[in-house]
Structure 1
Amino acid sequence: MNYLSDHYVEETRFGLWFLRSRIWQHYVLRLAVNDLRGLFSEAPPADPVLLDAGCGQGKSFALLRQAFAPARLIGIDADPQSLTQSAEEASRQGMDVELIGSDCASLKLADASIDLLFCHQTFHHLVQQEQALAEFYRVLKPGGYLLFAESTEAYIDTWVIRWLFRHPMHVQKSAAQYLHMIRQQGFEFTAQNVSYPYLWWSRAKDFGLLEYLGVCKPKPFGQREETLVNVVARKPFEGTV
């Protein structure tokens, strides 16, 4: 496969299957989109230009339409096969989606052309994370929003995830490190714009099985290492940095 990035990390067969599964769509994507929608401090832009960075097989398109009603929806991915599947998904949903083959670290989009940038479970696949975040900042309009939802190193670096999926392990980060990186790039957000979902599938090591069986109790926030972090971060208006 001729990927559109020199740093692309090829997914496993299981991983590609999982991205088509109901678990992914119902328990991962749907919950993330709904959670991000609730993290805005004010109403999102009306009729936005929305970029899905790392759109994969396009399973997010219908959810993004429902949550944000974009006037224009763009999907970007570095895997040509995923783009083909995204086109098929858009057709099934009756949606007009612009699909671009591109590395997130070198987006083929104009400066200040995007209102909302959705990056869901993509960033931990990227080797050039700093460059990608700089590109996200560049293409967002002043006042535009980054919708960032990620699994952290505490989850990615577990034996079951390393066995079933493939990731660049040397770039994985904690929730605090991801938030620091986003703030250092120049994005603005407060605690109100951040959440740390503690979902069954994100429980490190056993997917929450021991908690479900009553063998142990879930650790409360502040006493556990977070495995998920969601944030809605805004690019400042010009002259406010």
Structure 2
Amino acid sequence: MLMNSVETIAVNNPARRALQRYYEMAVLTRLGGRVGGGRVLEIGCGSGYGTKLILDRMGAATVDAVDADPAMVARARRRLQRYNDAVWVECGEAHDLRAVLGAQDATYDAVFDFAALHHIENWRSVLAETARVLRPGGRFYFVEVTSAALARPSYRLLFDHPEQDRFGAGQFLAELHHHGLDPAERWKTAIGSDYLLGVAERLT
């Protein structure tokens, strides 16, 4: 499900970018380390600000980024054009990365999700794809909005999200285990249980 106009404005503003840059990236780096020289995939790249941080702050050598919204893909390509061949941005659904990116098994050293999965009805399939394309020992970095937040009146009034199969923190972590992604103790919740941040390793 694509973001509505209100959420599009909300995620493309300086406050959201500051949160992502100074808080989320700091937590993810502390929990999972940098990905220096690695080949990285970003699910739901939006306007490409997270992709830029993965390159500049996390040290990725290359990033393949995918988003279902053509308008966001166009914005991301403009933002990231100075990185030349280090970035590939494609429009498509993250539950079939072979079709969108030609992604083979065990292709990536890391996969990033900056609050994209809660927009996707078949989020379980996306986690399965994440596990498939990660190499053994690769890491899945995630920031997600839980069902607790989505149930709040403010979210329901302002934003559009899938109504079925929403996940809480426990459900999300259990699904990671189901697909061979081990978060161990590398996760935390924030603002009560509204947000979940963490890093899971692809088991060998």
TM-score of the two chains, using structure 1 as the length reference: 0.78
Matching residue within 188, 191, 194 for 1:195: 188
Q: Name the residue aligned to 2:196.
A: 229
Letter in 1 for 2:54: L
Q: Name the residue aligned to 2:83.
A: 95
Structure 2 regions of 5+ residues with no counterpart?
A: none
Per the TM alignment, residue 130 of structure 1 is displaced from its structure 2 partner at its CA by 1.4
Q: Name the residue aligned to 1:164.
A: 158
CA–CA separation in structure 1 for the residues paired with 2:35 and 2:45: 21
Q: Name the residue aligned to 1:36.
A: 28
Letter in 2 for 1:184: H
Matching residue within 99, 121, 138 for 2:115: 121
Matches within 5 A, 1:123-162: 123-162=117-156
Instruction: Encode CA deviations 1:121-164: one digit per residue, 9 max, x unaligned.
Output: 00100111111111000111111100011111111111111111
Conservation of the 8 A alpha-carbon contact between 1:19 and 1:57: no
For the pair shown, the structure with the greater C-alpha radius of gyration is 1
Letter in 2 for 1:71: A
CA–CA separation in structure 2 for the residues paired with 1:88 and 1:62: 12
Instruction: Encode CA deviations 1:176-227: one digit per residue, 9 max, x unaligned.
Output: 1111111111111222x111123xxxxxxxxxxxxxxxxxxxxxxxxx5x11
Conservation of the 8 A alpha-carbon contact between 1:117 and 1:146: yes
Matching residue within 62, 65, 89 for 1:75: 65
Matches within 5 A, 1:180-191: 180-191=174-185
Query: Do the aligned partners of residues 159 and 28 (structure 1) sit closer, same or farther apart at CA in structure 2, a change above 3 Å counting?
Result: farther
TM-score of the two chains, using structure 2 as the length reference: 0.91
Q: Which has the higher helix share?
A: 2
Does 2:18 match 1:26? Answer: yes
SS in 2 for 1:104: coil
For these two proteins, the number of residue pairs brought into alignment is: 198
CA–CA separation in structure 2 for the residues paired with 1:95 and 1:113: 21
CA–CA separation in structure 2 for the residues paired with 1:150 and 1:29: 15
CA–CA separation in structure 2 for the residues paired with 1:23 and 1:54: 19
CA–CA separation in structure 2 for the residues paired with 1:228 and 1:29: 16
What is the RMSD of the two structures over their aligned residues, measured on CA atoms?
Answer: 1.5
CA–CA separation in structure 1 for the residues paired with 2:148 and 2:158: 16
Q: Which has the higher strand share?
A: 2
Per the TM alignment, residue 46 of structure 1 is displaced from its structure 2 partner at its CA by 3.0
Letter in 2 for 1:26: A
Conservation of the 8 A alpha-carbon contact between 2:48 and 2:80: yes
